[in-house]
């Protein structure tokens, strides 16, 4: 029982140390760029917005900060109407076709 107790406690302390290391690494490196994610989001939306209308309410941004790599996910919901505009544009430019008719 004692051994399990000891083992369990060590495991949770190690988990704490690891979580803090990852978190503080990100917080320290963020420095003056703490708002990097909102900035990236605005830039990405502006770039996409040049081609198709994007409703900023239909955008979800997620991050998962990892040890070596962080993942930034930006989900943009494109309505069917937007989809049709997009299809019309791509076909007008001769894009999106698999081969000559």
Partner 1 sequence: MAHVLVVTSGKGGVGKTTSAAALGAALARGGERVVVIDFDVGLRNLDLVMGAERRVVYDLIHVIQGTAKLSQALIRDKRIDTLFLLAASQTRDKDSLTDDGVERVIRELRPSFDWVICDSPAGIERGASLAMRHADFALVVANPEVSSVRDSDRIIGLLDSTTEKAKNGEPMEKYLLLTRYDPVRAGRGEMLCVDDVLDILCIPLLGIIPESKEVLNASNTGTPVTLSNPTSAPARAYNDAARRLKGELVPLVVPSDKNTLLNKLFGRRAA
Kindly state the smallest distance separating residue 83's Cβ from partner 1, in Å.
22
Q: Which stretch binds partner 1 (CB under 8 A): 43-51, 61-69, 77-85, 88-96?
A: 61-69
Distance between the two ends of the chain, CA-based, in angstroms?
Answer: 75
> Which two structure tokens, joined as six digits, stand for 91?
């076909």
Task: Assess 49 for contact with partner 1 (CB under 8 A).
Answer: no
Task: Assess 64 for contact with partner 1 (CB under 8 A).
Answer: yes
Q: Which stretch binds partner 1 (CB under 8 A): 16-24, 46-54, 78-86, 89-97?
A: 16-24
């Amino acid at each position: 029982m004692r051994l399990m107790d000891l083992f369990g406690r060590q495991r949770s302390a190690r988990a704490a140390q690891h979580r803090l290391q990852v978190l503080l690494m990100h917080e320290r490196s963020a420095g003056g760029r703490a708002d990097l994610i909102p900035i990236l989001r605005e830039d990405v939306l502006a770039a996409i917005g040049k081609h198709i209308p994007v409703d900023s309410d239909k955008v979800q941004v997620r991050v998962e900060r990892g040890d070596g790599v962080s993942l930034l996910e930006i989900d943009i919901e494109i309505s069917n109407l937007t989809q049709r505009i997009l299809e019309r544009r791509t076909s007008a430019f001769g894009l999106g076709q698999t081969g000559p008719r």
